[in-house]
């Protein structure tokens, strides 16, 4: 199967009350772990690439690895640019084989966000590529942008209808209390999401696919392994999985997960190297990381996203 856009995936997910996982990829083992899990569970899949991933692994290597995953796994896969900061990076990914891009102009004032998003949407649509945009701002760190909790802003339901119709965008990322990274809430703070805002947004733009960024649950299992193997993640807190499950049943059609993959990969590598410091074959520790990534993605597909059997 060749790469697909998210159009059909989102329509089915919206109607079916589940979400498609969008997993960040940076190397071969992460791509293999994710796609093997989704392939075995017959789940549609979004593989997403950040500017940092392109800088680390190179666009050509990443698209080549995704091509290989498509040959190995007979499931619908979309290749998506995560947090495209400007027109240029979106253009480069659209011209370079991606089927979906995110233009993240959420840092800009409303009118400027609309203008840039619309420019990308026009360029993308002429070439059969779909576009995600963002309204509202999540806290946390992504690439070189660090948004403090004080500067984060929930999405205003009043703005979504106008934004969607004037930009022509295909899906919308909103801010309802999720955030990027492994430290999403302060120690002692009760994790909370603004489901009231999500419901109001869904009411204003019925049938329109909503995206949740910053949706790692910071699996305690992997945090514990990293702690026991010389790491320090004492204050890591994620989004509880029952909240994500609830979101997946609603208008949320895409759930972004990166930090959980990092934790799973790192826990595997650390465990091998800590248990036996004489190991020097990279395959030994990368294999353990890849196995954790696969187990994590299988767990998300079945217990959080509900996308198993939907390919
Ligand atoms: O939302 C951002 C993703 O977690 C990507 O992170 O920019 O460090 O690759 P990165
Ligand atoms: P996490 O840091 O919660 O995994 O979020 C990832 C994300 O939103 C990528 O765009
Ligand atoms: Zn994000």
* pLDDT tens series, the chain, 311 aa: 889 999 999 999 999 999 999 999 999 999 999 999 999 999 999 999 999 999 999 999 999 999 999 999 999 999 999 999 999 999 999 999 999 999 999 999 999 999 999 999 999 999 999 999 999 988 766 655 566 666 668 999 999 999 999 999 999 999 999 999 999 998 888 999 999 999 999 999 999 999 999 999 998 889 998 988 888 898 899 999 999 999 999 999 999 999 999 999 999 999 999 999 999 999 999 999 999 999 999 999 999 999 999 99
Predicted local confidence at residue 146, as pLDDT = 61
**Is 177 near ligand 2, meaning CB less than 6 Å away?**
no
258 annotated active-site: no
- Structure tokens of 80? 């998506």
Which ligand does the CA of 25 lie closest to?
Answer: 1
Predicted local confidence at residue 148, as pLDDT = 64
Residue 104 lies in a domain: yes
**Is 82 near ligand 2, meaning CB less than 6 Å away?**
yes
Predicted local confidence at residue 293, as pLDDT = 98
- Structure tokens of 44? 């549609």
- Structure tokens of 277? 């410091």
Whole domain around residue 240: which residue ranges?
A: 7-305
Predicted local confidence at residue 230, as pLDDT = 82
Predicted local confidence at residue 144, as pLDDT = 55
Residue 43 lies in a domain: yes
**Residue of 213, 233, 265, 266 with the most ligand 2 atoms within 8 Å of its CB, for mutation:** 213
Atom of ligand 2 nearest to the CA of 181: 2
Residue 310 lies in a domain: no
**Is 33 near ligand 2, meaning CB less than 6 Å away?**
no
Predicted local confidence at residue 147, as pLDDT = 64
Long-range contacts of 32-35 (CB under 8 A, 24+ apart): 32/69, 32/290, 32/294, 33/264, 33/265, 33/289, 33/290, 33/291, 33/292, 33/293, 33/294, 33/296, 33/297, 34/261, 34/293, 34/294, 34/297, 35/69, 35/72, 35/73, 35/75, 35/77
**Residue of 51, 258, 266 with the most ligand 2 atoms within 8 Å of its CB, for mutation:** 258
8 A C-beta contact, residue 285 and residue 272 = yes
**Is 179 near ligand 2, meaning CB less than 6 Å away?**
no
Q: Which secondary-structure segment (H or E) carries 291?
A: helix 282-300
Q: Which secondary-structure segment (H or E) carries 130?
A: strand 130-135
Residue 95 lies in a domain: yes
Residue of the CA atom closest to atom 1 of ligand 1: 142
Residue 184 lies in a domain: yes
**Confidence (pTM):** 0.96
Residue 1 lies in a domain: no
Residue 150 lies in a domain: yes
State the distance between the two ends of the chain, measured CA to CA, in whole angstroms: 12
The catalytically annotated residue of 15, 74, 82, 86 is 82
CATH number at residue 294: 3.20.20.70
Burial 291-302 (b: 16+ CB within 10 A, else e): bbbbbbbbbbbe
**Is 43 near ligand 2, meaning CB less than 6 Å away?**
no
Predicted local confidence at residue 175, as pLDDT = 97
How big is the chain by its Cα radius of gyration, in Å?
18
Q: Is 97 exposed, middle or buried (0-12, 13-18, 19+ CB in 10 A)?
A: middle
Give me ligand 2 centre to Cα 258, in Å.
5
Domains contained in the chain, number? 1
Query: Alpha-carbon distance 189 to 95, whole Å?
Result: 44
In degrees, rounded to 5, the angle at the alpha carbon of residue 185 between the alpha carbons of residues 229 and 177 is: 130
Residue 41 lies in a domain: yes
Predicted local confidence at residue 150, as pLDDT = 60
Q: Which residues surround ligand 3, an ion (CB under 5 A)?
A: 213
């Amino acid at each position: 199967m060749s790469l697909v856009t998210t159009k059909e995936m989102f329509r089915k997910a919206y109607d079916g009350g589940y979400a498609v996982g969008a997993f960040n990829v940076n190397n071969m083992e992460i791509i293999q772990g994710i796609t093997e899990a989704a392939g075995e569970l017959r789940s549609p899949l979004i593989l997403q690439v950040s500017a940092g991933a392109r800088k680390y692994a190179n666009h050509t290597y990443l698209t080549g690895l995704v091509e290989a995953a498509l040959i190995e796994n007979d499931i619908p896969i979309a290749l998506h640019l995560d947090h495209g900061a400007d027109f240029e990076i979106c253009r480069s990914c659209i011209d370079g084989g991606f089927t979906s891009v995110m233009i993240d102009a959420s840092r800009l004032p409303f009118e400027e966000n609309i203008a840039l998003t619309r420019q990308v949407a026009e360029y993308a649509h002429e070439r059969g590529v779909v576009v995600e945009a963002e309204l509202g701002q999540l806290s946390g760190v992504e690439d070189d942008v660090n948004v403090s909790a004080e500067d984060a802003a929930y999405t205003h339901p009043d703005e979504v209808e106008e934004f969607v119709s004037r930009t022509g965008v295909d899906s919308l990322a909103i801010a309802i209390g999720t955030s990027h990274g492994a430290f999403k809430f302060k120690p002692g703070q009760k994790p909370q999401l603004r489901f009231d805002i999500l419901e109001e947004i869904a009411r204003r733009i019925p049938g329109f696919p909503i995206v949740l960024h910053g949706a790692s649950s910071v699996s305690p299992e992997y945090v514990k392994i990293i702690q026991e193997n010389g790491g320090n993640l004492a204050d890591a807190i994620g989004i509880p999985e029952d909240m994500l499950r609830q979101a997946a049943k609603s208008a949320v059609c895409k759930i972004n997960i990166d930090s959980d993959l990092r934790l799973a990969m790192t826990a595997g590598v650390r465990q091998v190297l800590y248990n036996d410091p004489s190991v020097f074959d990279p395959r030994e520790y990368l294999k353990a990381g890849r196995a954790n990534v696969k187990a994590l993605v299988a767990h998300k597909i079945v217990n959080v996203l509900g996308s198993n059997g939907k390919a």
